[in-house]
Structures are given as structure tokens and as C-alpha cells.
Structure 1
Amino acid sequence: MPDDPKPTVRRRVLGTNLRRLREEHGLHLEHAAEHLSCNISKISRIESGRSPIRPLDLKALLELYQVDEPSARDGWLSLARESRKQRWWRVLEDRLPQDFLDLIGLEEDTSYCRGFQPGVIDGLFQTSAYAEAVIAGGSPGPLGSDAATKLAVRLERQKALTRSEHPIGVWMVLGEAALKQQIGGTAVMRAQLGHLIDLARLPNVTLQVLPFAVGAYRGGPFPFKIYRFPEPSDMQVVLLENHVSHTYLEDPADIGFYADIFNHLRAASLGELESKALIEGLVSEVPG
């Protein structure tokens, strides 16, 4: 099978976890290659996500790594099948940077996300008008071609929240500033706040607000998200966003660091009911 210079997130997750299994059993690339009667480079490409893996080869590796429980084996085979699927965003590869394509893949392929957005409503929760205002960044007139593509992709990403099969679970902490910054004007903000209230009713969404009254807090005013992949993977990825790129952290120490910050933020924030009441109060204050 030919190498893929831009492997899907799920394929990289599959490869990373196969490497983890191999290392947990004290095996080297040579052992896996010998078991499959192939060269070491094939195993390396599979573990890096550059090459897909055939079901027969996966079953052989699971046997080598002593994954015997039927449901666990089924989970690995399902992960492999999903990793071979073409995703809707692949047609945009020439129009979007790879780090942004990775973000879309995370939201499609992960089962759960925790995050903090101090100054803007998170992209998964934005209305079309609010998202357009954010992307425009205060520039007047209609969006250009690239910006219009970003808007369309952002709205498509949001379907992960309401898809019929395994919608992504999201626990988001929003800073009070995100609720009060008048992005797009009063009408846009009123609709956006109402949309947040609707989303908070979804069983897979937990929304909390970090109020101004908290003062200084752990981690500072920097947004982040922690994505978790479904079983059999136990992999998590931290996403850090800035103006020009997305950075992904996979080291367990980094994940633990941001998980600790998130736990402090959620503990310092208003509860779900209090957060909902605050947002409802803000809706009533915004001119209709």
C-alpha cells in the first residue's frame, strides 16, 4: 500500500497505540516485522500512520501483543476500518493548512473534549453570524474566498455535537469575557447567547462560566482543549491555538499538566445551573 503524506488523525492514533502495545511487551520493530514476514520499514510506516494496515496484519500483531479479549480485538479492528475511510475534509487539503485539517480530524474521531476559552465563544458553539464576525476580525464587507471556506468548515465541524452516532462529548469552560465581548453587534450576540443556552441542554454538553469575580486563576487566560479518543485507544491530545497555527501535544506530562489546569478551572467556575442563569441574564440585558 502506498504511503500517505497526510495520514488521518485516526490512522496516526492507531499507529501510536500499536507502538505502545509493542513497547509494553518489550518488543522491537524487528520482532513485529518477523511476525508479519515483512521488513522493518513497513512496521515503522504503520506505527507512524503513513501506511494503512490490512486486517490480517492487524490480527497478527494483536496476537503477538496478546490482545485476546474478543471485544478488545473488535475495537482495534473497528479503529482500523475507520482509519481507512475518506473524510469529507480531505477535498480541502490544498486549501487549508495541515494543522487545521488535524483539528477537524480530532473533532470527527475523538469521543470527548474538555476545554477553556477565556475571551471568545468556542468554535463548536458559534452561530453562523458570530463565526463570520470572528473570522472577519472586524473587517468590513463580505468574506473573501479563503475566509468563506473557513466559515463553511467551522459550521460543518459543529455537526460532531449532534451526529446521530456517538456525538462528541464536550465540557467547556467559558470566561465571562467571552459572553460580554460584543462580537458582531448586539443582535448577533443575543442570538449567540441563546444558542449557548440551547446547546447546554444537550446531554453530551457541559457548559460552565468562569466569572470575573474569581480574579487570577491557574494557567492564565490562554485557551486550550484536551481531546480523548475512544477505546481501545487511551490516547489524549492537547490542542493549543494561536493566530497562525495549531500546536498538538501528546506527551503524557503535558496532558497531565493541562488536565490539572482544567480541573482547577471547572472547580473555580459557576456550576451548570448558575452558568445557565448568568447567560440568561445577559440575554435579557442585550438590546433586542
Structure 2
Amino acid sequence: MPNSPVVPTVRRRRLGTALRQFRNDAGMTLDQAASAIGWKGPKLSKIESANQSIRPSDVATLLEVYGLDDPEVLTALDSLARDAGKKGWWQTYSGVVSPSYADYISLESDAVSICAWSPLVIPGLLQTASYARENIAGITTFRTPEEVAALAEVRLARQSVLTRPGIPLELWAIIHEATLHQRFAMRPNTMRDQLRRLLDTADMPNVTVQLMPLNCTAHPGVLGGFNLASFLGRMPPVVVLENVGGAAYVEGDDAAPFTKAFERIRATALSVEDSLARIAEMEEGQRK
């Protein structure tokens, strides 16, 4: 029986992208690098394009060929090679979690920091259960109430990255002020509770929240929202773009413009202090 084709998960793509970058940094062609460890060029090409898996021991050999002896880099790539096809807790929800969403949760769980520009909705890592259910139900056109509830559970479970042992995720979230004016007819207290959740989460040392004011000047964020994920070990960042069709990924050198864009967006937004004061003012207004 022939082997099943390798599914290019986001972890495998990140591994391939990093190996290609390190090979290019070493000034080696595919054939040169492959020959150095007794392979053919096409095999290494398939690994770099995420169409073939690679053993952790071979990763270490390649890094040695590329002249890399940074233990942090080796650890990061070794982990990716071991976990490329590993299933996570979200597989329990495979009936409602699409492959592209599973890829995103995997990426989020591996990241050390995420810079999120969210012009239309509060980021999932900062949502309350009620806000999550209301928005999931509102944007979907085919989910049953049971599936909506399951997806809301997944969204809340993702938030554990903010309190995970060792290295909790660093989150810098910039939210457009217009998002905080959303109303929920059936559950009028939803936004009040969500505003309180933003204030409480912003007290965490690894979470920063800014608001983009309604009267802001032009900035790169008007082109749409995105999440920029960064990783340990000189691993290339990954940008996630979401739309009604699912998630799309921008990786490697193509992610660089998003880093500059986020810097411009951050400079245009209210300061952290003014942002939290505005959120507190809105939360107080919801109490009246």
C-alpha cells in the first residue's frame, strides 16, 4: 500500500521556510546542501516546500552544514520536526474545527508573541464566553446551536496560552474603538462584561491593549486586520489573515511589511494609558 501523502501543516511549512532561509543565508543551492548530507536536491526541495517530512536528526545535520550552532535554533526546529504531525487538544473538536482553524490554533500555541490588529472584532484571546457565542452565531451561516457552543468553547480554551507555564504568550492587541460600540439585543450586558474583561486582561504583564480612536488619521490598518506571530530561535514570523473563507498565511520574507505596518498602527493608536481610560469610561457608561 502506498504511503499517505504528507499534509503540509502550518508547523511543517514553518519548518520548511526556516530551513530554506538558513540555507540561503549559508549561500548554498539546493543541490549543494542536499549533496552535503547524501541526498538529492528534489528531496530537500520537498522538505522546504512542506511536502515531505524530515527527522529531527536530519534537521540537526542540515543546521550543522549551514554552520548554525545556536542551541535555541536547534531546539526550535527539533520541536517543529517532532510535532509537525502531532495532534493537539483541539482535535477533540475536529467536527467543528476546520483544517485552517486547526492550523491557526497550532501556530498560536507555538508562538511566543502575537501582535494583533483587530478593526472589526475583539481578538479571540480577549473574548468573554457570551461575546464569543454571539459573534460566532452572527457570522456563521450554517452552524447549529450545538456547533456554535462548541466553537465558543474552543475560543475560550485557546486563551490558556496567556497563562501557560514557562513562557506565556505576549499579546499586543490594537482594537478599533468602533468595535466596542457593538450591541447585542438579546444579551444587553454582553459588551459591558466584555469591556470589563479587556480591563482585567490588560492588567496581565504579558498583555497590552490599545484602542484606535474613531477620529484617527490614515494608517496601514485601513487595509484590513491581521495577526503577526513570532517564535523562538530566529524562526521567521507568520502573518494570519482571516476572512469568511477561513485563514490565509503569509510567511517568510513576505511577512516583513506587516511588521512595519503594525509599528505604524501602534503609533497612530491611543497610548496604552489613554486606551484603558477610554475603555473604563465606556464600561462605566454601560452600568448606567
Question: Shorter-chain TM-score category?
Answer: 0.7 to 0.9
Q: Which runs of 4+ in 1 moved over 6 A?
A: none
Matched, 1:278 2:247: no
Matched, 1:177 2:153: no
Contact 2:128 2:194 in 1 (8 A): yes
**Which residue number in structure 1 is paired with residue 268 of structure 2?**
268
Cα distance, 1:186–1:215 mapped onto 2, change above 3 Å: farther
Cα distance, 1:259–1:69 mapped onto 2, change above 3 Å: closer
**Which residue number in structure 1 is paired with residue 194 of structure 2?**
192
Within-5 A mapping of 1:194-213: 194-213=196-215
Residue-by-residue CA offset, 1:22-58 (whole Å, 9 max, x unaligned): 2222323323333333444432332233433223222
**Which residue number in structure 1 is paired with residue 56 of structure 2?**
55
2:200 is paired with a residue of what secondary structure? helix
**Which residue number in structure 1 is paired with residue 29 of structure 2?**
28
Within-5 A mapping of 1:5-16: 5-16=6-17
Matched, 1:89 2:85: no
Return the letter of the residue paired with 1:105.
S
**Which residue number in structure 2 is paired with residue 257 of structure 1?**
257
Q: Distance in 2 between matches of 1:67 and 1:251?
A: 18
TM-score when normalising by structure 2: 0.86
How many Å apart are 1:225 and its aligned residue? Answer: 1.4
**Which residue number in structure 2 is paired with residue 126 of structure 1?**
127
Cα distance, 1:98–1:5 mapped onto 2, change above 3 Å: farther
Q: Distance in 1 between matches of 2:48 and 2:139?
A: 44
Q: Distance in 1 between matches of 2:77 and 2:237?
A: 17
Return the letter of the residue paired with 1:220.
V
Q: Distance in 2 between matches of 1:131 and 1:242?
A: 17
Residue-by-residue CA offset, 1:215-247 (whole Å, 9 max, x unaligned): 5444316221111122131x1122221122222
Cα distance, 1:275–1:70 mapped onto 2, change above 3 Å: closer
Return the letter of the residue paired with 1:227.
A
2:232 paired residue among 217, 223, 230: 230
Return the letter of the residue paired with 1:282.
M
How many Å apart are 1:20 and its aligned residue? Answer: 1.4
Contact 1:3 1:51 in 2 (8 A): no
Cα distance, 1:223–1:15 mapped onto 2, change above 3 Å: same
Within-5 A mapping of 1:83-162: 83=84, 85-93=86-94, 95-137=96-138, 143-162=144-163
Contact 2:72 2:232 in 1 (8 A): no
Contact 2:76 2:232 in 1 (8 A): no
How many Å apart are 1:127 and its aligned residue? Answer: 0.4
Unaligned runs of 5+ in 1: none
| Count of matched residue pairs | 284
